[in-house]
A = this chain, B = another copy of it.
C-alpha cells in the first residue's frame, strides 16, 4: 500500500479515511467525477482551476493506487485518457455531498460573517441543508 495506515482497531477510522482522501485536490476530483461522470485529463485540468499538470497527475495516480479512480488509456492519436470513479470511489458519494453541503453552509455561517447571499444559500437555523 502507498501509505502506512495506522492499525487501530479500537477506534476512530476517520484518520484512515483522511489518509486516503486528505490530498489538496483529491476530494474535489472525486466530486467532479461523481457529478459529471468520466473525464479526460485535459477536461479535469481545465475545470480544476489552479492545478498544475504535475499535481493533477499525482493526485490521480494516488487515487488510482488507492482504488478510488480508474484510468483507461485509449491508444489513439492524439492520446486520450479517461478517468472515472471505481465502485469504491462511488461509495464516497454521500460523504462528498455532505462535505460539500457543509462547506457551503459554513461559508455563510463562519464566525463574524454575515450571509453574503441569503437567497442563494438555503441554510437552516440549526445546520447545513440536507443533514437531517
Interface residues of chain A, those whose CB is within 8 Å of chain B, are: 1, 5, 7-9, 11-18, 20, 22, 24, 27-28, 31-32, 49, 65-67, 87-88, 91-92, 94-96, 98-107, 109-113, 117, 120, 126-128, 131
Contact = CB atoms under 8 A, between A and B. Distances in A.
Q: Which 3 A-B pairs have the closest CB atoms?
A: A13-B103, A16-B103, A17-B103
Q: Which of A12, A66, A100, A104 has the most CB of B within 10 A?
A: A12
A17 B106 contact: yes
A98 B100 contact: no
Contacts of A103: 13-18, 20
Contacts of A16: 103-104, 106-107
B14 A106 contact: no
Contacts of A18: 22, 24, 27, 99, 103
A14 B100 contact: yes
Given A94-B131, A95-B95, A98-B98, A14 B1 contact: no
Contact of A14 (B31, B65, B88, B120): B31
Contact of A66 (B11, B22, B110): B110
